[in-house]
Every structure is written in structure tokens, then in C-alpha cells.
Amino acid sequence: CSVATTWLTETEVFFSVFVVGEHGMAHFSDKSKSKGKDYCIFFNSQWARLPQDLNKASRLQIYDLTSSVLCSPSEVPEGGFPNRIPMVLRGNCTFYEKVRLAQINGAKGLLIVSKDRLTPPAGNKTQYEEIDIPVALLSYSDMLDISKTFGKVQLVAMYAPNEPVLDYNMVIIFLMAVGTVAIGGYWAGSRDSKKRYMKHKRDDGTEKQDEETVDVTPIMICVFVVMCCSMLVLLYFFYDRLVIWVIAIFCVASSVGLHSCLWPFVKRLPFCKCRIPENNLPYLHKRPQIRMLLLSAFCIGVSITWMVFRNEDQWAWVLQDALGIAFCLYMLKTVRLPTFKACTLLLSVLFVYDVFFVFITPLFTKSGESIMVEVAAGPSDSSTHEKLPMVLKVPRLNFSPLALCDRPFSLLGFGDILVPGLLVAYCHRFDILTQSSRIYFVACTIAYGIGLLITFVALALMQMGQPALLYLVPCTLLTSLTVALWRRELPQFWTGSGFPAIALAPINCTQTAPPQTGGPSTKSESNATEPAAQSEHSPQHPTQETPPAEEDEDKHKSN
């Protein structure tokens, strides 16, 4: 159901050489200082720290040496770099050799232009102690823009502004995630209850439901996890080839989810109830209602609009979040975990999966980045620069110059909603059948919210990508288990014994009126025999009130 189940942060941590890189800003201006522009740089504070305020940073003249890599004394111009900052190309020697040559020749800093991915300029402890000027990496594209904008005479001031640990956009992500889990879990339980009622209400069970649920088995869980691992690894190695297919699949799945979420509201509208004329066209020969076709066209249109404008960062994220929430709601009400045992198996396996691909894989990758973060955020060397859409994304609301450097969005993977959400849905179904005043549902939903808050705290304290399931799985599983123990219902809760097979109860034919063309007496008589049959053959099931929505749907089907 989800390709990437991860929480992404705004800070990159590089494990390959155990050096933490930091983002900073290089403020370029012309000689008159009448105009200026900030560019992103990547530096290592172990060489030298940068001031946090631009006003406290020294404005020094750039010495353009981008035709050289500054690896030997012969490349140093006559007179050196007194009170200047040389800008050189990356390559052919270590960072230490470059910055040492620059410092010996009077430079007050060093900018290294890189055509490759920006990585922290690393050294060892002895080298750090020897060097006392800042060294930073600048992208090649930014260097070209600087030359075009400011010409040959350029002033630069390097600084590293502070950034808020937490952003206000996390409040929006929290509300979207908890709201989706709560609504999806409630909807799944209510839909299951209505389905059981309608099965008992009908004289036969041959009529097919509009949407069938899928009961998850242990074998399906194992296959799903293997598919997730395989897909993640394939995306890591063949990202540019597969990302377009993932985007296409998301468009189809999200449009189906949006249709499923909007149809219960559209079918209550008092207009466009007429059907299309008789025809032999595929998918249209059953003469669907006009409003159903209009809704389908609307959902497909929204999905296509997002696909066309998906890289418009100012507003496309709203469509992606709406489609993502609709997809998650659709999955929560369609996929059904029949027992708490299945819930525990699924959440536990994905718990290990999430932790492994976030915390363990950096030890094996060349870049030192986790496979999960690399895939979900999109590789920096991707030729397509596409991002996986399987996330909720909200732009940062706190203004910071560092938005130029880092990802301007905070992201939450669909898996961090769907996986705990399936447990919440199970809890609500168990609540309905045991008449427990929804205590399991409420407790599990609150536990999910608490787990998400703990994820935010860990994100702020550790300043690195967090596998949200590391906190969500224990919170939701242990809370549900505690409630079951407290109510002394653990055996029933574990095996799902509260969920009997959906089947018609036996009916005494002598008490049923003969078939008629349809009159009040037939309806009242069949309704009168139903409670007796239920009480006689299945006394353990609580009686359910007639769902108005399903009655309307039956009338619609009979028409």
C-alpha cells in the first residue's frame, strides 16, 4: 500500500565519514553593495565556525580561480589571496590541501565549487586544529548565476543563520495524520457494521456489495513486506526509471480513493439521478447515473491536474495532500485486519523494516544516507528531479534563508498513516461488536497522536530522519493490549472471536409471507420476523439500528 514509510527532516546527516555537514549562506553583492543575493553553501564547522548574523559577517572580495583546483603552490597567483576568499574547483586533492594552500597565502576563507553532490569538507582532528579559516562548498550552477549576476567584482559574506527546531507546519501534518487515522478507522468500523446488517436483512446473500473488503492473512503480510523491501531497493538503484511509474500508479489509485470518499455525499444530492441511455459500451452498459459519471470525471481531472502541475511548489502540495488523504481513507476502509494477532504481526514486521532502512542502511551506502530517506526525498543526482508522491507534504511556515538549501517541505509517509490506521480500524470494529462505547477506538487513536508527538520530539532532539513507526507501533500496540487486559477481553481481542462469519441466519419459511408485488404488509411482516430469527440463532450479536444510508442505497438498487 505504501512505498515509503518514513518521516523526513530538514537536516541532512552524513555517516560515510562520520562528519556532520551544516548548511549556511553565502551572501554575494557587487562592489557598491547596492544589491545582493543569498546562495546555499555546505560547510563543516570543525574547520571554522561562521557567524549566525549577516551583519556580523565580514564582506570580502572574491578571487575567481575557478579555472584551477588549487592543489599545488604553482596554482597560487603572484601575491596570494590577501584578505580575499578564493573560489576554486573541486577535485584532484583533499579539502585539507586546498584550504591549507589558501590559508598560507593569506586567504580569509575558501569556496570550493562542486559539480557533484555537496558533501561536507572532511578532515581529521590534527588538520582541524591547523586550519582557522572557513571552507565551504558551492554548487556549480550557483557559481554560474553569480558570475552572470555580479560580474567579475564580487563581495561575499558567509554566515550560518539559526533555524527553528520545529516548524509550525508540523501542526498541520499532525492534524492531517491523526484526522485521517480517526476518520478512516471510524469509517471502516461503521461500514463493516452496516455490511453485516444488510447481510442479515436480505432474504439471500447473493447480491454483491458495491465495494468488497480484503481480509489480510499472514501470508499476505509476508508477501507485502517482501514487495516493500524489493521496491525500495529497486527505487534506490533505478530511481529515474521507476519514479514515473510510481507517479502514474499514484494518479490512478488516488482518483479511485477520491471517488470512494466523495460518492457517499454525492449520492445524497437531489439532482442528476437520471441514467444514461441503453448502450453496449464497456463499463457503461449497466447505465450508471449521470452524477456518478460527473464525479468520476471530476476525480480523474483532479488527479491529472496534480500530475501536470506536481512540481509547482506553491500550491500543488495541496492537491497531493488531498489525493493522499483520500487514498489512505480508501485503503483503511477496504483493507481489513481480522484479528489483533494479524495487527501485531503486520506492525511488528514493518517496525523492523522501518528501523532497518532508516538506521542500518547508512552503514552500507556510499553516500552514508539511509535508503529510506534517499528514496523518499529523491536522490540529489537524479536526472528527472522527480519526488515520490507517497507522502503528505506541507511547506515550512517559519521564514528562514536556509530554505534555499534544504527541502522546503516537511513530509510524512503514507505508511505512517496506513499501518497504525489498520489497527485503529480493527479496534473500532471490535468496539461495535462488543458494545464497548468505542473505548478501544478512542484509546488507540489517542495513542497514535501521542506516538506522532514523540516522533516530533525525537526529530527535534536528534536532528536526523526518524522512522515514525519506531514510536507509533509501540504506542498503538501497547495501548490496545492494555485496554484488552483491563477489560479482560484479551482472548477475544487477540483472535477476533467477536467477528463471526458474515452469513444469513436460518429463517423459518412458515413465518415468511409469500412473494408479492411489493406492499406494506410484506415489508412489515419480514421486518417482524427478523428480530426473532436473530435472537433465536445468534443471541451473542448485539442488535443494530437500521442504517439510513444503506436503506437509501437499497431503494436506489431496487429502482
The residue from 38, 64, 354, 431 that is catalytic is 354
CA distance 449 to 444: 9
- Give 433 or 381, the one with higher predicted confidence: 433
Question: How far is residue 425's CA from residue 181's CA, in Å, rounded to a whole number?
Answer: 8
* Amino acid occupying residue 268: R
pLDDT at 522 over 80: no
Q: How far apart are CA 537 and CA 115, in angstroms?
A: 76
Task: Report the C-alpha gap between 321 and 285 in whole angstroms.
Answer: 34
95 vs 526, higher pLDDT: 95
Kindly report, residue by residue over 528-552, the tens digit of the pLDDT. 334 333 433 343 444 444 444 444 4
Could you say which of 38, 167, 416, 431 is catalytic? 416
Question: What's the whole-number mean pLDDT along residues 14-36?
Answer: 63
Of the pLDDT bands very low, low, confident and very high (cuts 50, 70, 90), residue 504 is very low
276 Cβ contact list (under 8 Å, min separation 6): 284, 287, 288, 290, 293
Q: pLDDT-derived band of residue 181, with 50, 70 and 90 as boundaries? A: very high
Distance, in Å, from the CA atom of 101 to the CA atom of 523, rounded to the nearest integer, reads 95
Judged by phi (left if over 0) then psi (alpha if -120 to 50, else beta), residue 79 lies in left
Residue with cell 507501533: 473
Q: Which of 209, 194, 111, 200 is nearest to 154 (CA)?
A: 111
How many angstroms separate the first and last alpha carbons of the chain?
36
Q: Which residue has the higher pLDDT, 124 or 510?
A: 124
Spatial distance between the Cα atoms of 216 and 340, rounded to a whole number of angstroms: 11
> What Rg, from alpha-carbon coordinates, does the chain have?
31
For the chain, give me the number of helices (H) and strands (E)? 16, 12
3-state SS, 126-189, equals HHHHHCCCCEEEEEHHHHHHHHHHHCCCCEEEEECCCCCCCCCHHHHHHHHHHHHHHHHHHHHH
Residue 354 is a catalytic residue: yes
User: Is this prediction's pTM over 0.85?
Assistant: no
- The predicted pLDDT at position 251 comes to 96
Confidence of residue 211 (pLDDT cuts 50, 70, 90): low
> For residues 474 and 469, what is the distance between their CA atoms, to the nearest angstrom?
8
Nearest to 117 by CA among 412, 467, 368, 326: 368
- At 180, the pLDDT band (50, 70, 90 cuts) reads very high
- What per-residue confidence (pLDDT) applies to 533? 38
Of residues 255, 249, 250, the one with CA closest to residue 297: 255
Instruction: Render pLDDT for 36-87 as a digit per residue (tens, 0 to 9).
Output: 888 888 887 777 888 888 888 888 888 888 888 888 888 888 888 888 899 9
Q: Is the predicted pLDDT of residue 161 greater than 70, yes or no?
A: yes
Neighbouring C-alpha atoms within 13 Å toward the C-beta of 248: 5
Can 145 be counted among the known catalytic residues?
no
Q: Are 378 and 387 in contact (CB under 8 A)?
A: yes
Q: How confident is the model at residue 199 (pLDDT cuts 50, 70, 90)?
A: low
Domains in the chain and their CATH numbers? 46-159 (3.50.30.30), 169-495 (no CATH), 521-558 (no CATH)
What's the pLDDT score for residue 205? 45
What nine digits make up the cell of 542?
Answer: 448485539
Note whether 23 and 42 are within 8 A (CB): yes
Nearest to 379 by CA among 241, 496, 188: 241
Percent over 90 (pLDDT), the chain: 31
